[in-house]
Amino acid sequence: MLELSFTRRFSMGHRLISGSSERCAIPHGHNEFVTVTLQATRPSRLDGAGNVIVPFADAKRRWHDFVDTRLDHAFQISSQDPLLDWFRTREPERMTRLVITPGDPTTELMAALLYAKLAAFLRDDGDILRCTCLSLEETPTNTVTLSGGPEPYLPVTTEAATGADRSVWWHRADMTISDLGTEL
Ligand SMILES: Nc1nc2c(c(=O)[nH]1)N=C([C@H](O)[C@H](O)COP(=O)(O)OP(=O)(O)OP(=O)(O)O)CN2
């Protein structure tokens, strides 16, 4: 199977408040690497001329633009986190730089949400490529790898319960990192 892999680095901040790792309840940051593996949705023989599935630049442009302009230097925060109220009331102009997640923004959750976001972009780009694997290196010693699709791992949200799940930001083929428009 012929696959393309692309890696991008971004800086992020987060905190985990649910008790799975008490030391991570204090806001802190990491320089992370996200690597995605893509394959042709309909594999075909190389044409003997250009011999590409898709030029690398085209295959990664939209995804890397999202990583660079939305994920990089954003703060990942649970929708349950009381710090959200701080931003709402004291720094509303920074709300658009918050990645708001259903529960703690762990590496596992972010891998699943980012996989879903990339899948939405790829569908919107004509379904020429699909993602087979996404890995998120939080630190040089901690990496989460997800293959085969995010669906089995995405938490059930209120939207899912009401049948409106496709409206959440990770399923939308746009540059959003939260559902601020619907929440505020
Ligand atoms: N299952 C998960 N556990 C933890 C996550 C996570 O995303 N998923 N995240 C954290 C923290 O973000 C923490 O910053 C990193 O974890 P930890 O391995 O505890 O810390 P170190 O980077 O210092 O690890 P060393 O390899 O020992 O240097 C915690 N847990």
Please answer whether residues 66 and 114 qualify as being in contact, where contact means their C-beta atoms are separated by less than 8 angstroms: no
Could you tell me the pTM of the whole model? 0.94
Q: How far apart are CA 79 and CA 6, in angstroms?
A: 30
- Cα 165 to averaged position of ligand 1 atoms, centre (Å): 30
- The string of pLDDT tens digits covering residues 68-99 is 999 999 999 999 999 999 999 999 999 999 99
- The string of pLDDT tens digits covering residues 28-75 is 999 999 999 999 999 999 999 999 999 999 999 999 999 999 999 999
Residues facing 14 on adjacent strands: 28, 76
What mean pLDDT is predicted for residues 168-172? 96
- Cα 63 to averaged position of ligand 1 atoms, centre (Å): 26
Q: How far apart are CA 107 and CA 35, in angstroms?
A: 13
Q: Which of these, 104, 149, 144, lies nearest to 14 by C-alpha position?
A: 104
pLDDT for residue 182 is more than 70: no
Domains of the chain, residue spans: 4-183
Q: Which residue ranges have their beta carbon within 6 Å of ligand 1?
A: 21, 24, 106-108, 138-139, 141-142
Q: What is the mean pLDDT of the chain?
A: 94
CATH topology classification for 4-183? Tetrahydropterin Synthase; Chain A (3.30.479)
